[in-house]
């Protein structure tokens, strides 16, 4: 895991070395172990290294390969040992033991087709002087970040947005429509655009070529999951076996490391499964590896705390356990640093719980952490999944299943059967334009302080893909590839790298993701229970209390309590330099009504505070 920088002077002038050096200084946290640069006339590549595999300095970057290829790379190719063997059979020799050299040799051998051979996470830039080309790629699901922009005389590719600030002519200008996406829907990273005008990202599964002689940039999608999946043909036992096999293999691959490894444990089924698998792998290994370390965010208030579930998971295992207790007083001292590291505002204080987990991991000298992100979007873990699930059952042929699942959900999750059934049915039968009108109306009522001039433009131009779904498959697909996972991965990358830690996500192994999207919905929701295949396949790895757990907390914080007890601080920050798309008088009136009564699931106040601090930290200009 590292940080990268690539710069091209479009006017063919030599690249100034101080621009590269300053950019790398801004991401020193991503790679504290080594720094390297490469220059070739109007091209510059930079790299900050966090050493994970092959700690020798021979693996430092930018890395030079055959035929003049030079690469700067961030990530891990977990199947690099298998690829190395394949390349050796083809005549390639290696001078290091790193995945970096394997990646560059793979590109030399197979060209852009090498991407389909990789099992891992990556963001890299390869300079090919013979082809006079820059080639950049991001992994299938966007685990590692990659941004690009043309600013003045420069075309630049970076790991983090803050790196653009060193360029002559940089101005942090707000992208108004993306800002309204953030407020209305709580999403970022759902498009190639960012909150900064003229700064873009490669999305998961995308690549970029830049022809140096023609100054022609081309962005294309190299990974299409719908080309990779088809309905699973085996029976239930076959599906459970395959899911279990792939998850165990995914975790085993992500334990490949030459440094210490830990896990984040919340007490939910996702992270508990990873911890259970690691424990079994350690036993199978005969205790040759160190016992695993886990970090958990905990709270004194019982309604936010998951320690009874965590206790059950760690019982009778070889585990070094470390609990961390996020505090509001620490938040106010950390908030500016956290927002700066994230580059863009984030929708809730669950980010702060994750921030504290990685802070504790750094204190315990853990360099790699495994995290349980993914199954909620792959296997319908969110309660909101019930609405499109039931909508999909609203037909004359499936009404028996509709009512059976409706009453099971009502009984298990205490969700009103009347409301759930009505909304699911309405979503199915109402025309798209009417659903859009209803949704837009509710958003306007929820955010009365957004200037109507801006909201009209937003609702006129905004995609309906964020609104309603009348089947589970489309809903989960959108969550995974647009509205949820990209945002989660953004936060996970910045929180971990802020403390020079590599985060790995076993559930996002592409083989497992493709399997999940090939399964029918009975493997996801059945008899009112979510994540069915995960519950069934992990019965030997997790306690019964975890397997049968139906509530979901995640990285929750006492956000409502913190806001109520620090109203003045929140109010002062929110009302400082209000942007033009917000009506300040309406906002002041709204604040006076809501600061006292904020609920645990209402993140509108935090979104305001976070946006305002972000705009001030990055000196954002409004149009």
Could you give the residue numbers annotated as active site? 2
Residues forming a β-bridge with 516: none
**Residue 274 vs residues 30, 371, 507: alpha-carbon distances, Å:** 25, 8, 9
Structure tokens at 541: 């790895």
Backbone angles phi, psi at 417, to 5 degrees: -65, -35
Give the pairing type, strands 502-504 and 368-370. Answer: parallel
| CB < 8 Å & 24+ apart, contacts of 299-308 | 299/325, 299/326, 299/557, 299/558, 300/325, 301/558, 301/561, 304/553, 304/556, 304/557, 304/558, 306/266, 306/267, 306/268, 306/553, 307/267, 308/267
- Omega of the bond leading into 62 within 30 degrees of 0 (cis): yes
User: Which 3 state secondary structure label does DSSP give 264?
Assistant: strand
Whether the Cβ atoms of residue 383 and residue 523 lie closer than 8 Å to each other = no
Q: Which among 136, 9, 614, 65 is positioned nearest to 351, based on CA atoms?
A: 614
Q: Can you tell me the distance from the alpha carbon of 440 to that of 435, in angstroms, rounded to the nearest whole number?
A: 9
Q: Can you tell me the distance from the alpha carbon of 157 to that of 189, in angstroms, rounded to the nearest whole number?
A: 17
Alpha helical stretches, state H, 164-231: 176-185
Backbone angles phi, psi at 468, to 5 degrees: -130, 150
Structural element, H or E, at residue 219: strand 216-221
């Amino acid at each position: 895991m590292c940080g990268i920088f690539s710069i091209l002077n479009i006017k063919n002038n030599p690249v100034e070395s101080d621009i590269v050096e300053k950019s790398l200084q801004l991401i020193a946290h991503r790679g504290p172990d080594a720094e390297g640069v490469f220059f070739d006339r109007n091209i510059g590549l930079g790299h900050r290294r966090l050493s994970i595999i092959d700690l020798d300095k021979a693996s430092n970057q930018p890395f030079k390969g055959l035929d003049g290829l030079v690469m700067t790379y961030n990530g891990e190719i977990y199947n690099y040992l298998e690829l190395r063997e394949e390349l050796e059979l083809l005549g390639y020799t290696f001078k290091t033991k790193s995945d970096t050299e394997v990646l560059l040799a793979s590109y030399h051998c197979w060209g852009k087709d090498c991407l389909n051979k990789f099992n891992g996470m990556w963001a890299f830039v390869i300079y090919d002087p013979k082809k006079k080309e820059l080639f950049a790629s991001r992994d299938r699901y966007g685990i590692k970040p990659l941004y690009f922009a043309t600013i003045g005389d420069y075309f630049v590719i970076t790991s983090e947005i803050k790196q653009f600030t060193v360029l002559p002519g940089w101005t942090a200008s707000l992208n108004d429509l993306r800002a309204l996406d953030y407020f209305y829907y709580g999403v970022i990273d759902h498009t190639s655009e960012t909150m900064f005008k003229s700064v873009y990202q490669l999305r998961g599964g995308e690549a970029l070529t830049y022809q140096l002689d023609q100054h022609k940039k081309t962005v294309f999608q190299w990974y299409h999951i719908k080309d990779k999946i088809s309905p699973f043909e085996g029976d239930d036992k076959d599906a459970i076996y395959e899911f279990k096999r792939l998850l165990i293999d995914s975790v085993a691959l992500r334990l490949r490391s030459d440094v210490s490894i830990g896990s984040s444990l919340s007490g939910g089924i996702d992270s508990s499964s990873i911890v259970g698998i690691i424990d079994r792998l350690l036993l199978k290994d005969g205790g040759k590896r160190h016992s695993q370390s886990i970090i958990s965010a905990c709270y004194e208030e019982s309604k936010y705390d998951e320690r009874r579930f965590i206790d059950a998971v760690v019982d009778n295992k070889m585990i070094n356990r470390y609990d961390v207790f996020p505090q509001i007083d620490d938040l106010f001292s950390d908030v500016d640093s956290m927002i700066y590291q994230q580059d863009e505002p984030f929708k809730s204080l669950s980010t702060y719980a994750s921030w504290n987990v990685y802070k504790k991991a750094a204190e315990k000298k853990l360099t790699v952490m495994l995290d349980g992100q993914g199954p909620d979007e792959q296997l319908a873990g969110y309660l909101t999944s019930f609405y499109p699930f039931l909508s999909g059952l609203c037909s004359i042929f499936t009404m028996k299943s509709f009512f059976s699942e409706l009453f099971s959900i009502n009984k298990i999750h205490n969700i009103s059967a009347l409301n759930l059934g009505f909304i699911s049915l309405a979503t199915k039968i109402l025309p798209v334009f009417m659903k859009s009108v209803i949704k837009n109306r509710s958003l306007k009522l929820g955010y009365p302080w957004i200037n109507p001039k801006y909201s009209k433009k937003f609702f006129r131009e905004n995609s309906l893909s964020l609104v309603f779904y009348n089947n589970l498959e489309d809903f989960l697909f959108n969550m995974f590839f647009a509205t949820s996972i990209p945002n989660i991965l953004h936060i996970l990358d910045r929180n971990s790298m802020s403390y020079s830690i590599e985060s790995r996500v076993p559930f996002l192994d592409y083989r497992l993701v493709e399997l999940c999207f090939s399964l029918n919905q009975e493997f996801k929701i059945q008899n009112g229970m979510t994540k069915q295949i995960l519950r069934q396949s992990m019965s030997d790895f997790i306690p019964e209390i975890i397997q049968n757990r139906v509530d979901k907390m995640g990285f929750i914080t006492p956000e409502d309590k913190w806001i109520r007890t620090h109203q003045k601080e929140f109010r002062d920050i929110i009302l400082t330099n209000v942007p033009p798309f917000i009506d300040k008088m309406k906002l002041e009136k709204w604040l006076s009504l809501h600061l006292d009564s904020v609920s645990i699931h209402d993140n509108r106040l935090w979104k305001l505070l976070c946006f305002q601090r972000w705009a001030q930290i990055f000196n954002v200009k409004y149009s």
